[in-house]
Structure 1
Amino acid sequence: MTPDRRLLLSALAGALILPLSRGAKADDAFQFPLKDDSGAPIANYRLPSQLTTDDLTGVIWAGSATPDVTLVEFFDYNCPYCRKAVKDLDALLARDRELRLGLVNNSILAPGSAQAAKVQLAVMKLKGAPFAYRYHLRLLGKHGPVDGAVALQLAAEMGLDRAEVEHVGDTDEVESVLRRQVALASSLGFVATPSFMIDGVGILGYPGAKSMGRIVGAVRKCDKVVCG
Protein backbone atom coordinates (compact mmCIF):
# COMPACT_ATOMS: atom_id res chain seq x y z
CA MET A 1 0.00 0.00 0.00
CA THR A 2 1.43 3.37 -0.98
CA PRO A 3 1.79 6.16 1.61
CA ASP A 4 -0.86 8.23 -0.21
CA ARG A 5 -3.31 5.35 -0.14
CA ARG A 6 -2.58 4.68 3.51
CA LEU A 7 -3.19 8.31 4.44
CA LEU A 8 -6.42 8.37 2.48
CA LEU A 9 -7.70 5.22 4.11
CA SER A 10 -6.71 6.48 7.56
CA ALA A 11 -8.58 9.73 7.02
CA LEU A 12 -11.68 7.89 5.88
CA ALA A 13 -11.42 5.55 8.85
CA GLY A 14 -11.48 8.48 11.26
CA ALA A 15 -14.71 9.68 9.72
CA LEU A 16 -16.27 6.26 10.27
CA ILE A 17 -16.04 6.32 14.06
CA LEU A 18 -19.59 7.37 14.85
CA PRO A 19 -21.36 8.22 18.12
CA LEU A 20 -24.11 6.13 19.66
CA SER A 21 -27.47 6.96 18.14
CA ARG A 22 -29.86 8.77 20.47
CA GLY A 23 -32.51 6.27 19.47
CA ALA A 24 -30.53 3.22 20.59
CA LYS A 25 -31.59 1.10 23.56
CA ALA A 26 -28.15 0.39 24.98
CA ASP A 27 -29.03 2.02 28.31
CA ASP A 28 -31.82 -0.55 28.83
CA ALA A 29 -29.26 -3.24 28.47
CA PHE A 30 -30.62 -6.22 30.42
CA GLN A 31 -34.07 -6.75 28.96
CA PHE A 32 -33.86 -10.55 28.84
CA PRO A 33 -32.25 -12.86 31.46
CA LEU A 34 -29.30 -13.91 29.32
CA LYS A 35 -26.03 -15.08 30.87
CA ASP A 36 -22.61 -15.64 29.36
CA ASP A 37 -20.51 -18.78 29.72
CA SER A 38 -19.24 -17.61 33.12
CA GLY A 39 -22.76 -17.01 34.44
CA ALA A 40 -22.56 -13.21 34.27
CA PRO A 41 -25.47 -11.23 32.80
CA ILE A 42 -25.23 -10.36 29.11
CA ALA A 43 -26.18 -6.85 28.02
CA ASN A 44 -29.13 -7.15 25.64
CA TYR A 45 -32.17 -5.21 24.50
CA ARG A 46 -35.01 -5.20 22.00
CA LEU A 47 -34.01 -3.57 18.70
CA PRO A 48 -36.10 -1.08 16.72
CA SER A 49 -38.04 -3.19 14.22
CA GLN A 50 -37.31 -0.83 11.33
CA LEU A 51 -33.54 -1.28 11.63
CA THR A 52 -32.48 -4.47 9.85
CA THR A 53 -29.77 -5.83 7.58
CA ASP A 54 -32.29 -6.76 4.88
CA ASP A 55 -31.32 -3.95 2.52
CA LEU A 56 -27.70 -3.61 3.65
CA THR A 57 -25.10 -4.32 0.97
CA GLY A 58 -21.74 -5.95 1.54
CA VAL A 59 -22.91 -8.38 4.23
CA ILE A 60 -21.09 -11.72 4.16
CA TRP A 61 -23.67 -14.47 4.55
CA ALA A 62 -22.52 -17.95 5.55
CA GLY A 63 -24.34 -21.13 6.47
CA SER A 64 -27.81 -22.19 5.42
CA ALA A 65 -29.48 -20.69 2.36
CA THR A 66 -32.87 -21.57 3.90
CA PRO A 67 -32.29 -20.89 7.61
CA ASP A 68 -34.71 -21.22 10.47
CA VAL A 69 -32.49 -18.94 12.61
CA THR A 70 -30.38 -16.00 11.45
CA LEU A 71 -27.58 -14.53 13.57
CA VAL A 72 -25.80 -11.33 12.54
CA GLU A 73 -22.43 -10.35 14.01
CA PHE A 74 -21.14 -6.76 13.96
CA PHE A 75 -17.37 -7.01 14.29
CA ASP A 76 -14.05 -5.17 14.09
CA TYR A 77 -10.87 -6.72 12.69
CA ASN A 78 -8.86 -5.47 15.69
CA CYS A 79 -11.27 -6.81 18.31
CA PRO A 80 -9.72 -9.59 20.45
CA TYR A 81 -13.13 -10.99 21.38
CA CYS A 82 -14.04 -11.14 17.69
CA ARG A 83 -10.96 -13.32 17.19
CA LYS A 84 -12.30 -15.70 19.81
CA ALA A 85 -15.84 -15.59 18.46
CA VAL A 86 -14.88 -16.29 14.85
CA LYS A 87 -13.68 -19.81 15.65
CA ASP A 88 -16.70 -20.61 17.81
CA LEU A 89 -19.19 -19.28 15.28
CA ASP A 90 -17.57 -21.21 12.45
CA ALA A 91 -17.80 -24.38 14.54
CA LEU A 92 -21.44 -23.59 15.33
CA LEU A 93 -22.20 -23.22 11.62
CA ALA A 94 -20.55 -26.58 10.95
CA ARG A 95 -22.76 -28.27 13.56
CA ASP A 96 -25.99 -26.40 12.86
CA ARG A 97 -27.03 -26.80 9.23
CA GLU A 98 -30.16 -24.65 9.69
CA LEU A 99 -28.32 -21.56 10.92
CA ARG A 100 -27.33 -18.57 8.81
CA LEU A 101 -24.63 -16.12 9.92
CA GLY A 102 -24.31 -12.57 8.64
CA LEU A 103 -21.13 -10.54 9.09
CA VAL A 104 -21.26 -6.74 9.20
CA ASN A 105 -18.30 -4.40 9.68
CA ASN A 106 -18.40 -2.15 12.73
CA SER A 107 -14.95 -0.59 12.36
CA ILE A 108 -14.76 1.55 15.49
CA LEU A 109 -11.59 0.50 17.32
CA ALA A 110 -8.82 1.88 15.11
CA PRO A 111 -8.20 3.49 11.71
CA GLY A 112 -6.61 0.22 10.63
CA SER A 113 -9.91 -1.56 11.22
CA ALA A 114 -11.63 0.52 8.55
CA GLN A 115 -8.70 -0.02 6.18
CA ALA A 116 -9.02 -3.78 6.62
CA ALA A 117 -12.80 -3.61 6.26
CA LYS A 118 -12.47 -1.84 2.92
CA VAL A 119 -10.13 -4.54 1.69
CA GLN A 120 -12.57 -7.22 2.88
CA LEU A 121 -15.43 -5.49 1.05
CA ALA A 122 -13.29 -5.38 -2.09
CA VAL A 123 -12.60 -9.11 -1.76
CA MET A 124 -16.34 -9.69 -1.35
CA LYS A 125 -17.09 -7.67 -4.47
CA LEU A 126 -14.44 -9.43 -6.54
CA LYS A 127 -14.88 -13.02 -5.35
CA GLY A 128 -18.29 -13.37 -3.69
CA ALA A 129 -19.47 -14.42 -0.24
CA PRO A 130 -18.02 -17.96 0.09
CA PHE A 131 -14.50 -16.74 -0.71
CA ALA A 132 -14.98 -13.61 1.41
CA TYR A 133 -16.01 -15.78 4.36
CA ARG A 134 -12.82 -17.83 4.10
CA TYR A 135 -10.86 -14.59 3.84
CA HIS A 136 -12.65 -13.26 6.94
CA LEU A 137 -11.73 -16.36 8.95
CA ARG A 138 -8.07 -16.01 8.03
CA LEU A 139 -7.91 -12.25 8.62
CA LEU A 140 -9.39 -12.59 12.10
CA GLY A 141 -6.88 -15.37 12.71
CA LYS A 142 -3.99 -12.91 12.36
CA HIS A 143 -1.96 -12.00 15.42
CA GLY A 144 -1.23 -8.35 16.16
CA PRO A 145 -2.77 -5.19 14.71
CA VAL A 146 -4.66 -5.52 11.43
CA ASP A 147 -4.67 -2.69 8.89
CA GLY A 148 -4.91 -2.21 5.15
CA ALA A 149 -1.42 -3.53 4.47
CA VAL A 150 -2.04 -6.73 6.43
CA ALA A 151 -5.40 -7.21 4.74
CA LEU A 152 -3.96 -6.64 1.27
CA GLN A 153 -1.12 -9.06 1.92
CA LEU A 154 -3.59 -11.78 2.90
CA ALA A 155 -5.64 -11.12 -0.23
CA ALA A 156 -2.48 -11.58 -2.30
CA GLU A 157 -1.61 -14.78 -0.44
CA MET A 158 -5.06 -16.11 -1.32
CA GLY A 159 -4.46 -15.50 -5.01
CA LEU A 160 -6.02 -12.08 -5.65
CA ASP A 161 -4.30 -9.29 -7.53
CA ARG A 162 -3.15 -6.87 -4.85
CA ALA A 163 -3.41 -3.78 -7.05
CA GLU A 164 -6.93 -4.70 -8.16
CA VAL A 165 -8.10 -5.27 -4.59
CA GLU A 166 -6.59 -1.96 -3.51
CA HIS A 167 -8.25 -0.15 -6.41
CA VAL A 168 -11.69 -1.59 -5.63
CA GLY A 169 -11.27 -0.97 -1.90
CA ASP A 170 -10.51 2.69 -2.54
CA THR A 171 -13.66 3.33 -4.61
CA ASP A 172 -16.51 5.56 -3.48
CA GLU A 173 -18.83 2.55 -3.69
CA VAL A 174 -16.89 0.56 -1.11
CA GLU A 175 -16.51 3.60 1.14
CA SER A 176 -20.29 4.12 1.00
CA VAL A 177 -20.99 0.48 1.84
CA LEU A 178 -18.70 0.64 4.87
CA ARG A 179 -20.24 3.90 6.07
CA ARG A 180 -23.72 2.37 5.88
CA GLN A 181 -22.64 -0.70 7.81
CA VAL A 182 -21.04 1.31 10.61
CA ALA A 183 -24.00 3.71 10.66
CA LEU A 184 -26.42 0.80 11.13
CA ALA A 185 -24.34 -0.53 14.02
CA SER A 186 -24.42 2.93 15.61
CA SER A 187 -28.17 3.20 15.13
CA LEU A 188 -28.59 -0.16 16.85
CA GLY A 189 -26.52 0.99 19.83
CA PHE A 190 -23.72 -1.48 19.15
CA VAL A 191 -20.91 0.32 20.97
CA ALA A 192 -19.10 -2.95 21.77
CA THR A 193 -17.48 -5.41 19.40
CA PRO A 194 -18.58 -7.95 18.71
CA SER A 195 -22.29 -7.31 19.02
CA PHE A 196 -25.06 -9.50 17.67
CA MET A 197 -28.55 -9.26 16.25
CA ILE A 198 -30.86 -12.25 16.60
CA ASP A 199 -34.64 -12.45 16.56
CA GLY A 200 -34.99 -8.69 16.98
CA VAL A 201 -32.68 -8.58 20.02
CA GLY A 202 -29.29 -6.88 20.28
CA ILE A 203 -26.53 -8.51 22.34
CA LEU A 204 -23.53 -6.41 23.37
CA GLY A 205 -20.27 -8.31 23.55
CA TYR A 206 -19.51 -11.98 23.05
CA PRO A 207 -21.33 -14.28 25.48
CA GLY A 208 -19.27 -17.38 24.67
CA ALA A 209 -19.81 -20.49 22.59
CA LYS A 210 -22.14 -22.34 24.97
CA SER A 211 -24.31 -19.30 25.63
CA MET A 212 -24.57 -18.48 21.93
CA GLY A 213 -25.59 -22.06 21.21
CA ARG A 214 -28.31 -21.80 23.88
CA ILE A 215 -29.59 -18.53 22.42
CA VAL A 216 -29.80 -19.99 18.92
CA GLY A 217 -31.53 -23.08 20.32
CA ALA A 218 -34.06 -20.97 22.22
CA VAL A 219 -34.93 -18.89 19.16
CA ARG A 220 -35.48 -22.11 17.22
CA LYS A 221 -37.59 -23.68 19.98
CA CYS A 222 -39.78 -20.80 21.17
CA ASP A 223 -38.97 -17.81 18.93
CA LYS A 224 -37.38 -16.01 21.88
CA VAL A 225 -33.78 -15.61 23.05
CA VAL A 226 -34.82 -17.20 26.35
CA CYS A 227 -37.64 -19.74 26.64
CA GLY A 228 -39.94 -19.96 29.63
Structure 2
Amino acid sequence: MLKNLAALGLALGLALPAAATDLDNLSAAERDAFRAEVRAYLLENPEVLMEAIAVLEQRQGAAELERDAMMVAANADALFSSAFDVSFGNPEGDITIVEFMDYRCGYCRRAHPEVADLVEFDGNIRVIVKEFPILGEQSVLASRFAIATRIALGDEAYVSVHDALMEMRGDVTEPALQVLAADLGLDGAAIMGAINDPLVMQTIEYNHALAQRMAISGTPSFVFGDQLVRGYVPIDGMQQIVAMLRETAN
Protein backbone atom coordinates (compact mmCIF):
# COMPACT_ATOMS: atom_id res chain seq x y z
CA MET A 1 0.00 0.00 0.00
CA LEU A 2 2.77 2.46 0.96
CA LYS A 3 4.63 1.74 -2.26
CA ASN A 4 1.48 2.51 -4.22
CA LEU A 5 1.09 5.78 -2.36
CA ALA A 6 4.70 6.68 -3.01
CA ALA A 7 4.27 6.04 -6.74
CA LEU A 8 1.10 8.11 -6.73
CA GLY A 9 2.84 10.88 -4.85
CA LEU A 10 5.68 10.95 -7.35
CA ALA A 11 3.24 10.93 -10.24
CA LEU A 12 1.33 13.84 -8.74
CA GLY A 13 4.45 15.84 -8.09
CA LEU A 14 3.98 16.04 -4.33
CA ALA A 15 6.80 17.16 -2.12
CA LEU A 16 8.00 13.94 -0.53
CA PRO A 17 10.33 13.38 2.39
CA ALA A 18 13.95 12.99 1.35
CA ALA A 19 13.84 9.29 2.15
CA ALA A 20 10.54 8.64 0.36
CA THR A 21 12.19 6.79 -2.49
CA ASP A 22 13.60 4.37 0.10
CA LEU A 23 10.40 3.26 1.80
CA ASP A 24 12.12 1.04 4.32
CA ASN A 25 13.88 4.07 5.79
CA LEU A 26 10.75 6.16 6.38
CA SER A 27 10.06 6.91 9.99
CA ALA A 28 6.57 6.45 11.40
CA ALA A 29 6.11 10.22 11.44
CA GLU A 30 7.22 10.51 7.80
CA ARG A 31 4.82 7.74 6.79
CA ASP A 32 1.89 9.45 8.49
CA ALA A 33 2.82 12.80 6.96
CA PHE A 34 3.10 11.28 3.50
CA ARG A 35 -0.26 9.53 3.75
CA ALA A 36 -1.88 12.76 4.93
CA GLU A 37 -0.33 14.70 2.05
CA VAL A 38 -1.59 12.26 -0.59
CA ARG A 39 -5.06 12.13 0.98
CA ALA A 40 -5.33 15.89 1.10
CA TYR A 41 -4.24 16.24 -2.51
CA LEU A 42 -6.81 13.70 -3.73
CA LEU A 43 -9.59 15.31 -1.74
CA GLU A 44 -8.73 18.69 -3.30
CA ASN A 45 -8.27 17.22 -6.79
CA PRO A 46 -10.66 14.25 -7.18
CA GLU A 47 -10.49 14.50 -10.98
CA VAL A 48 -6.95 13.11 -10.78
CA LEU A 49 -8.27 9.92 -9.23
CA MET A 50 -10.96 9.64 -11.92
CA GLU A 51 -8.29 10.01 -14.60
CA ALA A 52 -6.24 7.26 -12.97
CA ILE A 53 -9.28 4.97 -12.82
CA ALA A 54 -10.03 5.63 -16.51
CA VAL A 55 -6.47 4.71 -17.47
CA LEU A 56 -6.69 1.54 -15.37
CA GLU A 57 -9.99 0.52 -16.99
CA GLN A 58 -8.54 1.15 -20.45
CA ARG A 59 -5.55 -1.04 -19.68
CA GLN A 60 -7.75 -3.76 -18.22
CA GLY A 61 -9.99 -3.65 -21.30
CA ALA A 62 -7.01 -4.01 -23.62
CA ALA A 63 -5.67 -6.89 -21.55
CA GLU A 64 -9.07 -8.63 -21.65
CA LEU A 65 -9.27 -8.28 -25.44
CA GLU A 66 -5.79 -9.74 -25.79
CA ARG A 67 -6.63 -12.61 -23.45
CA ASP A 68 -9.83 -13.37 -25.38
CA ALA A 69 -7.96 -13.34 -28.69
CA MET A 70 -5.44 -15.81 -27.26
CA MET A 71 -8.27 -18.11 -26.12
CA VAL A 72 -9.85 -17.97 -29.58
CA ALA A 73 -6.53 -18.83 -31.22
CA ALA A 74 -5.87 -21.68 -28.79
CA ASN A 75 -9.32 -23.19 -29.46
CA ALA A 76 -9.62 -22.33 -33.17
CA ASP A 77 -10.15 -25.90 -34.38
CA ALA A 78 -12.89 -26.59 -31.83
CA LEU A 79 -14.56 -23.27 -32.60
CA PHE A 80 -14.42 -23.20 -36.38
CA SER A 81 -13.87 -26.77 -37.60
CA SER A 82 -15.76 -29.10 -35.25
CA ALA A 83 -17.71 -31.93 -36.84
CA PHE A 84 -20.26 -31.56 -34.03
CA ASP A 85 -21.59 -28.27 -35.41
CA VAL A 86 -23.88 -27.12 -38.20
CA SER A 87 -23.19 -23.91 -40.08
CA PHE A 88 -25.35 -21.77 -42.34
CA GLY A 89 -24.88 -18.73 -44.51
CA ASN A 90 -22.01 -18.51 -46.97
CA PRO A 91 -19.64 -21.46 -46.38
CA GLU A 92 -16.87 -19.42 -48.06
CA GLY A 93 -17.70 -16.21 -46.19
CA ASP A 94 -14.85 -13.92 -45.22
CA ILE A 95 -16.27 -13.58 -41.69
CA THR A 96 -17.24 -16.49 -39.44
CA ILE A 97 -19.49 -15.98 -36.45
CA VAL A 98 -19.76 -18.67 -33.78
CA GLU A 99 -22.79 -18.52 -31.47
CA PHE A 100 -23.14 -20.39 -28.18
CA MET A 101 -26.90 -20.58 -27.67
CA ASP A 102 -29.70 -22.03 -25.54
CA TYR A 103 -33.22 -22.48 -26.93
CA ARG A 104 -34.77 -21.28 -23.65
CA CYS A 105 -32.67 -18.10 -23.53
CA GLY A 106 -34.73 -14.96 -24.18
CA TYR A 107 -31.79 -13.01 -25.53
CA CYS A 108 -30.85 -15.90 -27.83
CA ARG A 109 -34.37 -15.75 -29.23
CA ARG A 110 -34.06 -12.02 -29.64
CA ALA A 111 -30.73 -12.36 -31.45
CA HIS A 112 -31.85 -15.21 -33.70
CA PRO A 113 -33.75 -13.23 -36.38
CA GLU A 114 -31.11 -10.51 -36.28
CA VAL A 115 -28.33 -12.99 -36.97
CA ALA A 116 -30.42 -14.39 -39.85
CA ASP A 117 -30.95 -10.87 -41.25
CA LEU A 118 -27.24 -10.13 -40.96
CA VAL A 119 -26.39 -13.27 -42.91
CA GLU A 120 -29.02 -12.57 -45.58
CA PHE A 121 -28.23 -8.90 -46.10
CA ASP A 122 -24.46 -9.25 -45.96
CA GLY A 123 -24.11 -12.36 -48.11
CA ASN A 124 -20.52 -13.06 -47.06
CA ILE A 125 -20.92 -14.41 -43.51
CA ARG A 126 -20.80 -17.95 -42.18
CA VAL A 127 -22.48 -18.76 -38.85
CA ILE A 128 -21.65 -21.79 -36.70
CA VAL A 129 -24.17 -22.91 -34.09
CA LYS A 130 -22.90 -24.25 -30.77
CA GLU A 131 -25.58 -26.14 -28.84
CA PHE A 132 -24.95 -24.91 -25.28
CA PRO A 133 -27.95 -25.70 -23.03
CA ILE A 134 -27.47 -24.16 -19.59
CA LEU A 135 -30.98 -23.23 -18.45
CA GLY A 136 -32.27 -26.52 -17.13
CA GLU A 137 -33.74 -29.82 -18.27
CA GLN A 138 -35.98 -28.34 -20.96
CA SER A 139 -32.98 -26.62 -22.53
CA VAL A 140 -31.11 -29.92 -22.59
CA LEU A 141 -34.09 -31.75 -24.10
CA ALA A 142 -34.45 -29.11 -26.82
CA SER A 143 -30.77 -29.39 -27.74
CA ARG A 144 -30.91 -33.18 -27.68
CA PHE A 145 -33.88 -33.08 -30.06
CA ALA A 146 -32.10 -30.69 -32.44
CA ILE A 147 -28.91 -32.77 -32.48
CA ALA A 148 -30.91 -35.99 -32.91
CA THR A 149 -32.64 -34.38 -35.91
CA ARG A 150 -29.29 -33.84 -37.55
CA ILE A 151 -28.22 -37.42 -36.85
CA ALA A 152 -31.47 -38.91 -38.16
CA LEU A 153 -32.38 -36.54 -40.99
CA GLY A 154 -29.39 -34.35 -41.85
CA ASP A 155 -28.28 -30.73 -41.67
CA GLU A 156 -31.21 -29.21 -43.57
CA ALA A 157 -33.73 -30.75 -41.18
CA TYR A 158 -31.60 -29.60 -38.26
CA VAL A 159 -31.75 -25.99 -39.44
CA SER A 160 -35.56 -26.20 -39.71
CA VAL A 161 -35.84 -27.60 -36.18
CA HIS A 162 -33.31 -25.08 -34.85
CA ASP A 163 -35.37 -22.19 -36.21
CA ALA A 164 -38.63 -23.68 -34.90
CA LEU A 165 -37.23 -24.28 -31.42
CA MET A 166 -36.11 -20.65 -31.26
CA GLU A 167 -39.70 -19.60 -31.86
CA MET A 168 -41.33 -22.30 -29.73
CA ARG A 169 -43.51 -21.14 -26.85
CA GLY A 170 -44.59 -23.24 -23.92
CA ASP A 171 -42.84 -26.10 -22.20
CA VAL A 172 -40.40 -28.31 -24.07
CA THR A 173 -41.70 -31.86 -23.69
CA GLU A 174 -41.41 -34.94 -25.87
CA PRO A 175 -45.07 -34.70 -27.01
CA ALA A 176 -44.59 -31.02 -27.85
CA LEU A 177 -41.47 -31.85 -29.84
CA GLN A 178 -43.35 -34.56 -31.73
CA VAL A 179 -45.97 -31.96 -32.69
CA LEU A 180 -43.19 -29.55 -33.77
CA ALA A 181 -41.66 -32.23 -36.02
CA ALA A 182 -45.06 -33.05 -37.55
CA ASP A 183 -45.70 -29.36 -38.24
CA LEU A 184 -42.37 -29.23 -40.10
CA GLY A 185 -43.18 -32.38 -42.07
CA LEU A 186 -40.36 -34.31 -40.40
CA ASP A 187 -40.27 -37.90 -39.15
CA GLY A 188 -40.67 -37.42 -35.41
CA ALA A 189 -40.27 -41.13 -34.69
CA ALA A 190 -36.90 -41.17 -36.47
CA ILE A 191 -35.75 -38.16 -34.47
CA MET A 192 -36.84 -39.64 -31.15
CA GLY A 193 -35.15 -42.87 -32.16
CA ALA A 194 -31.84 -41.00 -32.36
CA ILE A 195 -32.24 -38.88 -29.23
CA ASN A 196 -30.35 -41.39 -27.06
CA ASP A 197 -27.51 -41.79 -29.54
CA PRO A 198 -24.25 -41.28 -27.57
CA LEU A 199 -23.24 -38.62 -30.09
CA VAL A 200 -26.05 -36.37 -28.82
CA MET A 201 -24.64 -35.94 -25.32
CA GLN A 202 -21.08 -36.01 -26.64
CA THR A 203 -21.92 -32.91 -28.68
CA ILE A 204 -23.35 -31.08 -25.67
CA GLU A 205 -20.49 -32.10 -23.40
CA TYR A 206 -17.94 -31.07 -26.01
CA ASN A 207 -19.47 -27.61 -26.28
CA HIS A 208 -19.66 -27.22 -22.50
CA ALA A 209 -15.98 -28.11 -22.18
CA LEU A 210 -15.12 -25.64 -24.95
CA ALA A 211 -17.17 -22.91 -23.26
CA GLN A 212 -15.35 -23.52 -20.01
CA ARG A 213 -11.98 -23.14 -21.74
CA MET A 214 -13.26 -19.92 -23.32
CA ALA A 215 -14.54 -18.53 -19.99
CA ILE A 216 -18.08 -18.50 -21.43
CA SER A 217 -20.83 -19.01 -18.86
CA GLY A 218 -23.87 -17.32 -20.43
CA THR A 219 -25.89 -17.18 -23.61
CA PRO A 220 -25.80 -15.88 -26.16
CA SER A 221 -22.03 -15.62 -26.51
CA PHE A 222 -20.41 -14.92 -29.85
CA VAL A 223 -17.04 -15.24 -31.51
CA PHE A 224 -16.60 -12.77 -34.36
CA GLY A 225 -13.34 -13.65 -36.09
CA ASP A 226 -10.86 -13.43 -33.22
CA GLN A 227 -13.12 -11.42 -30.91
CA LEU A 228 -15.17 -12.90 -28.10
CA VAL A 229 -18.41 -11.07 -27.28
CA ARG A 230 -20.35 -12.23 -24.24
CA GLY A 231 -24.03 -11.31 -24.31
CA TYR A 232 -26.65 -10.07 -26.72
CA VAL A 233 -25.53 -7.81 -29.57
CA PRO A 234 -28.16 -6.00 -31.71
CA ILE A 235 -27.80 -6.18 -35.46
CA ASP A 236 -26.26 -2.73 -35.80
CA GLY A 237 -23.60 -3.73 -33.28
CA MET A 238 -22.91 -6.93 -35.20
CA GLN A 239 -22.60 -4.96 -38.43
CA GLN A 240 -20.08 -2.62 -36.80
CA ILE A 241 -17.98 -5.54 -35.55
CA VAL A 242 -18.04 -7.17 -38.99
CA ALA A 243 -17.04 -3.89 -40.67
CA MET A 244 -14.18 -3.42 -38.22
CA LEU A 245 -12.91 -6.97 -38.80
CA ARG A 246 -12.92 -6.43 -42.55
CA GLU A 247 -11.17 -3.09 -42.22
CA THR A 248 -8.51 -4.63 -40.00
CA ALA A 249 -7.98 -7.50 -42.47
CA ASN A 250 -7.34 -5.10 -45.37
With the length of structure 1 as denominator, give the TM-score of the two structures: 0.74
Residue 88 of structure 1 is matched in structure 2 by 114
Q: Show the counterpart of 2:93.
A: 67
Counterpart of 2:68 in structure 1 is: 45
| Alpha-carbon separation, structure 2, partners of 1:29 and 1:119 | 41
Q: Which residue of 1 aligns with 2:204?
A: 178
Moved beyond 6 Å, runs of 4+ = none
Q: CA contact under 8 A between 1:119 and 1:152: conserved in structure 2? A: no
Partner in structure 1 of residue 132 of structure 2: 106
1:14 is matched with: none
Give the whole-Å Cα distance in 1 for the aligned partners of 2:126 and 2:116: 11
Equivalent in 241, 247, 250 of residue 215 of structure 1:
241
**Are the aligned partners of 2:97 and 2:224 in contact in 1 as well (CA < 8 Å)?**
yes
Aligned to 1:129: 155
Is the 2:100–2:219 contact (alpha carbons within 8 Å) kept by the matching residues of 1? yes
In structure 1, runs of 5+ residues without a counterpart are 1-27, 35-43
Larger helix fraction of residues? 2
Matching residue within 96, 105, 112 for 1:79: 105
Aligned to 2:195: 169
CA RMSD of aligned residues (A): 2.5
Q: Which residues of structure 2 form unaligned runs of 5+? A: 1-58
Pairing partner for 2:213 from 187, 195, 198: 187
Bigger CA radius of gyration:
2
Name the structure, 1 or 2, with higher relative contact order (CA <8 Å, separation 6+).
1
Distance 1:198 1:189, change over 3 A: same
Decide whether aligned partners of structure 1 residues 139 and 189 sit closer, same or farther in structure 2, where only a CA change above 3 A counts.
same
